[in-house]
Amino acid sequence: MNNFDVTAFRRGYSAFLRPGRVLLTGHSHQAWPDAARAAQERYFDDAARFVDEKWELAVFPVLERVRRGILARLGLPPDDAVAFGKSTHELVFRLLSCFPLGQGTRVVSTTSEFHSLHRQLARLAEAGADVHLVDARAREGLAERLARALTPQTHLLALSAVLFEDSHVVAGLPGLLARARELGVPVLVDAYHAFNVVPLDLGPALDHVYVTAGGYKYAQFGEGLCFMRLPPAAAVRPLYTGWFADFDALGRERVATVGYGEGGARFHGATFDGSAAYRAEAALANFDAFHLDVPALRALSLRMTQRLLDRLRARGVLDRAPLQTPQEAQRRGGFISLRTPRAGEVELRLRQRGVWVDHRGDLLRLGPAPYLLDDELDAGVDALAEELDRV
């Protein structure tokens, strides 16, 4: 990435990159490119031009281009089906609704999944489902422990590729997915903290794997555009379904059996705000214009997180807020996580100084993004060191 012109790249983020602000929340909500504003306006113009025909003539073609871009950045086959939704939770619950909800349902997952999945699985357990959560506190060997928890009676295995708490890249996914395929267990991989920053290696057992993620974090789409890749032979029938799941049926006579559209359409819901797809297309085009494919973004991310680590160590921060993120590059995701009992207080103090980080419980998280300068990374760590001296 020696030829990457960060100065030119930054010019495309004038609305977000303001003087006196250091955005170290690249793992949570990256800045939107200025092109997203123009895309939002194009959506309005297309709605005014096509009115009720905007779906077929404008929105669906945009979603098709976004589908191809997403699959390319996931490293998945270009013809794979992709479903779109406002959130990953919406899509995941549609997948769960393909199975019996309640007694007789068995789901295997981990204790380190993001809040939305953890909450939903906890509620299913309250309703009588057998939800088996594998302890993820010991990161090494997690995939192997999940494999041992699987049985032929398991309806779904759900896990993250990169853990949201500490940026740990889960090792051994190909072997785990192969074991799930042997047992006939469908798999849901939450790739949100991998999409557009960490290459995804799922191995050859893709015919049982659903992959979900969204664009709010590393892809710079903003809200409202999440997605789920479907296995090639997926013919499931979500109980939670809306009319967009069979869009063409609107003009046909109703029949007794609920039908589903082709490909990812079977997981769609009802009327949605198409502007998110326009922003997604603009963000992907912006990355492409600067030749920022996933390997290039991964190289940038690793260099920036290493700089953060070196500065944190030099300033003595790690003596007061121990590092939770793996130091090994191959196991480190797109952000740095530190443990401090006053993480929330430190976040607020930094925010007052224009340095944006976030926290999850006692974990303070710092995430770079490709538009940041080295001086900004250093300034963020220096401010953190000073605030830790105060608390």
In terms of pTM, does the model score above 0.85?
yes
Residue-wise pLDDT tens digits, 325-336 = 999 999 999 999
Residue-wise pLDDT tens digits, 173-205 = 999 999 999 999 999 999 999 999 999 999 999
Backbone angles phi, psi at 31, to 5 degrees: -60, 145
In the three-class reduction of DSSP (H, G, I as helix; E, B as strand; rest coil), residue 360 is classed as strand
Fold of 37-286: Aspartate Aminotransferase; domain 2 (3.40.640)
Least confident of 5-19, 253-267, 324-338, 359-373: 253-267
Could you tell me if 261 and 55 are in contact, meaning their C-beta atoms sit under 8 angstroms apart?
A: no
Is the predicted pLDDT of residue 2 greater than 70, yes or no?
no
Could you tell me the pLDDT band of residue 13, with boundaries at 50, 70 and 90?
A: very high
From 384, 389, 309, select the one nearest 350 (Cα to Cα). 384
Residue-wise pLDDT tens digits, 151-162 = 999 999 999 999
Q: Where in the chain is the domain with CATH 3.90.1150.10?
A: 6-31+293-390
Could you tell me if 304 and 30 are in contact, meaning their C-beta atoms sit under 8 angstroms apart?
A: no
**Helix and strand tally (H, E) in the chain?**
13, 12
Residue-wise pLDDT tens digits, 81-133 = 999 999 999 999 999 999 988 888 999 999 999 999 999 999 999 999 999 99
Architecture of domain 6-31+293-390 in this structure: Alpha-Beta Complex (3.90)
Whole-number Å distance between alpha carbons of 264 and 245:
8
Q: Where in the chain is the domain with CATH 3.40.640.10?
A: 37-286
Whole-number Å distance between alpha carbons of 377 and 380:
5
